Every structure is written in structure tokens, then in C-alpha cells.
Structure 1
Amino acid sequence: MSTLKAVRGTRDLLPPETALWNHIEATARRVFARYNFGEIRTPIFEDTQLFARGVGEETDIVSKEMYTWEDRARAQSEKAQSLTLRPENTAGVVRAYIEHKLGETGMLQKLYYIGPQFRRERPQKGRYRQFYQIGAEVIGPHSAGSESPLRDAEVLEMLATLLDELGITGWTLALNSVGSASDRPRYIAALREALKDKVAQMCGDCQRRAETNPLRVLDCKVPEDQPIIDTLPQIADFLDDASRAHFTAVCEALAACGVKYEINPRLVRGLDYYTRTTFEFTHDGLGAQNALLGGGRYDGLSEMLGGPKAPGIGFAMGEDRLVLTLAALSAREAELADYFIAPLGESLNAPALELARALRQAGLRIEVGDGSFRLKKSFETGNKLARKIILLGEDEQQSGILTVKDFASGEQSKIARAELVKPSKE
């Protein structure tokens, strides 16, 4: 008799790994509570039409990836119902918002969820057919400020806080606007025209998407298609004044609270319901498939599902990839030296070595650069090898006050040599 194993594309989560999962979820709950979000738990399976209407019938999720089946009728007079394991959770949250008449409170609904989602896709690093997401939605009537760019910026600032508190440094936030429902048709028409003479040279998926959902062509990851995609029109050139003003206000609010971002004109995300702001947080530690989380605004989704006007914005974070990132960062952190000493000139090589000896005797892990390095090279090398860098110039050598920079926080400070070389208590 053959041994039974977990189905391909799924896996068991075992100790001690589950401790890291619990840490991530506890940190998320703690951060969400500070921003006044409450938890919502929706069913794992829903009526198939929820996703066909909400996510979009021509999206890859609906056309290729959903687990769908016919539920047997309870009586001969009943028609079997088509059910689907949820491939994402925003549509389910909006369905619950409509069904339970949450809009009648007149208040913003700030809701988060943690749980499994299901997609039939090719298993790869960090991707499984049963995967886990942490997500949140802000939705409500226009009168509650749900359409305000402030809501977009607040969600993004909250995500920056969450990643920082999880210890994930070096993330990148990419932003774009995909415009309003009136902007989109003009842009799609321009895309179709631009693709007409080029799409035959692109991959099979792009050839299909050019007919069914041209925006998804911009999301193609096939390397050979990138030069063609770079020549296509950008949606920023098709935004109306209101969409442009909304995006500008989001960017200004992020700058005001110190959240760094990059504008990526090709960022469209993969779901039909997105409008205006779309975003993605990435981390280089994940390699080519480097997305940690993404989301955007969906101002017309409630109406698409038969509900009242209820603008909203949300995100979903792949917990599986988050675990991989934290595990990789923990492994790297364990390998890093405490300090990288950068002598600013070859005449300071010997004093640098003498300082390294004193710090090592104090129980610290030290790497030493070379005075022949340019300052930029010292920083680049130090960032790969250590948590902090010590700049040792003539002034530092004579005064005994060392310049120290923390690579993670970016903070630079002056510390007396005597303080650094105090013996470790461990």
C-alpha cells in the first residue's frame, strides 16, 4: 500500500515554522488594531458568480485558476449551484458589506482578514494551490470619506509600519493610477491600437490578453516581451483631471509622513475591479518573483455586485512569501558582522585593524575594509557584510569620536570609541 502524502501544491505547516506564522499574524493584528481595523471572517467557498462578476470573467484567476464544482441539488426541483473555493477575499468582503447592510451605518468599515485562499496554478517558490493571505479593506459610503486619497495614503502608511515592525527592511513601494471608469476605455482603445502590429511577436498569453483584457499585457513577465511593452502608451497620459488630482494627493500625503515610493507606470494589477490607485510592495530577497503584497482602489465593485455605491481600497499580503522573506532575512542577519570598519585612506589601514582588534576583544563580530576603497564601495561592501559601518577618518582617529551608520534605519551618529569597545556582557 502506497504512503499517502499531501496533495501537490499544498503542504503541512509544522513546528518550529508555525511559530513564525503566529508571530506574523500576531504582529498584523496588533498593527491593524492601532489603525482601528476589526476582523472579518468570510466563508471559504462562495457562489461562483461572485468571482465571475467581481474579479472578471476574462482574468486568469476566473478563466484558468479557480476550483469550481456543482453542488448537488437537495431536491429534484432545485437547480445545482456552482460553488468556488475563494481565490481572493476582497469580493467576499464586499459581498458581506452588501448583504449585512454595513453601509447603512454611514461609517467607514475598516476590516481585515487572515486565512487560506485557493488557486489552481503551477506550484513554485512561495506559491501554493492552498495559500494564505493577510488582507484589509476600507469601504463605505462617499459621505464617510471612502473616496478620499487620504484613505489610500493611510493604508499604505499602515503597510509600511507593518513591514517595519516585522523587521522587513529594504522593501520598495511601487505606485500607479489606473484611472477611473471613464479613463479606462480611452486607454484600452489606445492599447489595442498600439498592440495591433506587435502582438503577433509576443507570447501566447499576451496574444490572448490583447483581445480579452489588454491591460493584463502590461503585467507580462516574459523577458522577450519587455522591449515591446516598453513602447506601449502609458495610462498616465489618459487620466482625467480628477484622477490625476487624486493620485497627486496620495503621493503628497505619503511624502508628508515619510513613506518612500516609486511610480511605476506599468503597474496595473491583475483584477478587473481596480480603479485609480494601485500599489505593490516588493523585496529583492525573493528573487524574480519578488512581490510581497499588492492592492488598490475599487470604487465600483459594490455596484458590480448589485450593492450601493461604496468606494473602497484594500490589499492582500501573501503570508507564504512573507514567511520566506523573514526566514531569509533571519538567516542573513545571523551571518552579518556587527560592524564594518571603513578606513578613509590607506594611511588609516593600520589604525582600522587596531580598532578591529579592540572591538573583537569586546566580543563583537567585525569586518575591515581597505583605505584604497572609495567611500561608495565601502558603503556597498559594508551593507552586504555588516549591520553598521564605522567611518574612520583622520578626525575620528584623533578625537576618538567615531562616525557610525546603521544600515537598517539609515541613522548616523557619533559614538565615543570607549563606548564601542566596552566588553560585551554576554
Structure 2
Amino acid sequence: MAKQNVDLIGGDNMLISYKYNNFLSFRQEAEFTMLAPSSKVKSRFPNNYVELENGYQVLKDAVIVGENAGGKSNFVRSLNYFKNFFVDSDSANVSKNTINNNNINGKCPLKSDFDQIFEMELTNKGGRIFRYLLHVDYMGIVEEKLEAKEKKTVSYKPVLHVKRSENNYECESDRDNCKLDECKLRGVMSYQLTIPGISDEIKKMLEETIEDINPIGLFTTKMALLGNKLAIEFIGIVKNDICPESVPLNYDFVLSVQKDNSDYKEILYKNEFFEIFKMVDYSISDIKIDDEKPFMETLIYRKKKNGDTFSRKIGADSSGVREFFAWAIQIYKVIYENKIVIADEMDRVLNPILSDRVITFVNSKKHFGQFIFTSHNILHLDLKNYMKEQIYFVSKDVETLESELYSLADFPEVRYETTKIYEFYMKGILGGTASE
């Protein structure tokens, strides 16, 4: 195996906070933050957070625990959904299959609550902090706002604020049971644009992009195309550094059939990748990457206690080894490329020891990446490895089937001296469990 070393990429593109509502099982606002606590307790966990030059102290990792079908995957999907507004920027409107079922009232979209609100706070490599709000409905953008500042202690300054000022729509049909693709609306939709420092010419160009009835793309994207530096920076973080990974199938299979493999191909040859991968089995002494079929034909070499070695193709190895081979790419991205990886049930094939090994490894390295993952593993409810702010729960109400996201930090009665947090959770003291 030709092993290459990699230099730590400097930077501090990190997620500070994220909010959303009316997405799949989440009806009410769900709030998630990666801010380290202001209390002295963080001195017990010096490797679990980084201190940025702009004044923020941000967590390196967090775990979201919940029962089956509780809504953990929907949290990850919401980030994918939010990111897609920037990737596929032709339009920004809400489809019926993404809103909470309790907000659907019949087939007519005008009689249902399609409003979705997303808020995100990020910091970029230069230390600049962004705050972004996107409010969309069935017709398109209701409100979009981008703000920026240079330090934690100063106020945000507006970059862009767009708000719908008129929305006079009428349905051409008298029926109440129209299908969504039969919906025929007529009317006028207008916006109020507030963009500090923009010329009248550019403002006019933006206003001309607003059509009467077709959903319009993000104004932040339009500003980036016009050369606005702050819009370009913010979109760059969302598109390139936020990596939600939610896969219904084995992750190694998903990557193996992926047409564009440039995102991970070079990583497989890095010595740092091998150091991560061998955590799955310390008898692994080397790997020989197959460039054509890395997830099937790569050779894994193991060393016995007597010093003898043998090899096996990864396609013939255990499912846990194959799956972790793929997930090790994402862990590499966190540590050596400073990506914000949100992994859905990464440890579904990993034993608790390996899961703890991975988290310890992420925290022990100096980097500006973040690793957020969902899990069924209640052994992650451990205040010896995590601060309370790093542990989140997702619970689903058995009557409304609505999900709720909350932090262990919301329970002041839970003290760090309490070592068996998982017992509190299983008894229902910390919210919903499968026993409800």
C-alpha cells in the first residue's frame, strides 16, 4: 500500500446552530446547537471543543439518541433538504411529501400549512459568522435573510433581506379535491428587497427575476452569481462543508455504485485513512486499494500473533468491516478536511467499544471539523465522555406521531456524578422511549 501523509487543513468552518420546523415528523420547531457550555464544566472535557478566534467555543461532536421510528433520520434528512435549496437553486418551494402529516388538510395545498422555516448559524474559515433564515411555503419564498459579523461580541449586519409583501392568489377551480399537479392558481406575488450597498441597476435585475406564479430560486444564490463575496462564502460552506449522510442501504454499497467517486478516491490511499480504518480490527496490518472496485476488491491484510499474515478481499469480509471502511472516509473528512459530517446510524453495525473508540479518536485530534451522528446505542449516554450539551434525544409522541428534539442539558437535575444516564432514559425520565 502506497501510504501518503496529509497536512492538517487549517480553517474553522463550523456549525453553531440549526433550527427547523414542519418537516416530516417534526411539526414544532426543533433546535440544535453545537455551542460549548459557558460553565466551568467544559474544563473537564478540554478535547471536546475548539475555541475560535472570533470568540466562539464550538463542540467537535454530538450524538442524537432515540428509539426506532422516533425521527432521528428525519433530522439528518432535514439538513439534506435544506442543503438542496442551494445545490438545486432553480426554485425554492415546499412539496406536500415533506410537511408534517398533521398540517395536511385535504388535497388543496392552500388549505394546508406548507410553511417551513430553517435557520442556521455558521462560522467560516476567516472567522466570519453567518446567520441565515429561510421561510418557504407552497408558492415559494416567504422570507429570506442573510446576516454576517466578524466577532461573537458584535451585532449582525444585514447582507440580504427579502420578504414577500403581497400574496394575492385565487384558485381557478371550485373543487376542494384537486390533486397537487392539478392546482391552478392566479394572482400576483411581490417582494420587498433590502440589500445594503446594492446599486439600483442590480436591484432591478433581481426584481425582474421574480415571476408571477412560478417558484423562484434563492436570492442568496442570485447575489452570489452577481459577485457578492459574503453570499459566495456562505453558500460555499453549505454546499461544500455540510455533509449529511442518510442512507437506507449499507453505506459501502451506496459509495460503490456512486458515479462520481472523486470525493473519496484519493482519501483511500492516505495513511491517515488507514489509521482510522484499522480501528475496526487491530489485527489489520495493511490494505491494498483496488482502484476500480475499492469496496469489493480491496485486499485487507491481517497479522496473526505468531507474525504470519494473510489477506482477504473486502467484499468477502464481515459486513461491519465493509461498512466501516466506507464510514472511515467520513471520519477522515471531519479530522483532516474539517467537514461537518452528520451521519445517520453510523454505528448500527458497530459494537459499543468501536463506537467509543471512534469518538475518542475524533476528540483527541486537533481539527476544526464536526461529527454529529444518530444512534440507537444507549451506551453513548455517558457523561464521562460527553458533556450534557453533546447529547441530544429525539422522541415521538404516541398520539400525534410528532417528533421532538431536545438536549440532555435541558435537565438540570442530571448531574455529572450520575454515571448511569441510560437507566434514566430507559425509565422514561429523560423523555420518550420504545416502552411508551
Normalising by structure 2, we get a TM-score of 0.22
More helix by share: 1
Structure exhibiting the larger radius of gyration computed from Cα positions? 1
Which structure dedicates a bigger proportion of its chain to strand? Answer: 2
Q: Structure 1-normalised TM-score?
A: 0.22
Task: Tell me: higher relative CO, structure 1 or 2? Use CA pairs within 8 A at least 6 residues apart.
Answer: 2
